[in-house]
Amino acid sequence: MTEYKVMLTDYAMNQISSVVDYISDELRAPETAEVWLEKLKSGMETLAFMPDRVLLTDEEPWRSRGIRKLIIMNYYIYFWINRSEKTVWIIAVIYSGMDQATQLKRIKK
């Protein structure tokens, strides 16, 4: 079984950092932020094996670009697979309650 390296874009890392800061500072729940982050990391690490098992997103034009969407808790993890480099690139982490098309337009791939 081929293993892929899982990488995050700066954009995705900034989104994750913003969520952790919000939970920790605004909600005053640093322990909850830590648990959330660990669950998110664990879910993203599953993409190292068989990332093709995750379906393409329904939203266009991202679907045509090969962007896939993994659901972890209440968040959508958007990613694409670089098969030649055996790398999965996580490009966005977006709360499921947000307008996905609007949020996806902010991605710089």
- φ/ψ region of 50 (left if φ > 0, alpha if ψ in -120 to 50, else beta) reads left
109 domain-assigned: no
Largest CA distance in the chain: 43
| Model pTM score | 0.91
pLDDT tens readout for residues 29-82: 999 999 999 999 999 999 999 999 999 999 899 999 999 999 999 999 999 999
90 domain-assigned: yes
Q: Which residues 6+ apart lie within 8 Å of 74 measured at CB? A: 95, 96, 97
Structural domain including 52 reads 5-104
User: What is the CATH classification number for the domain harbouring 76?
Assistant: 3.30.2310.20
Q: Which pLDDT band, with edges at 50, 70 and 90, does 2 fall under?
A: confident
How many domains does the chain fold into?
1
12 domain-assigned: yes
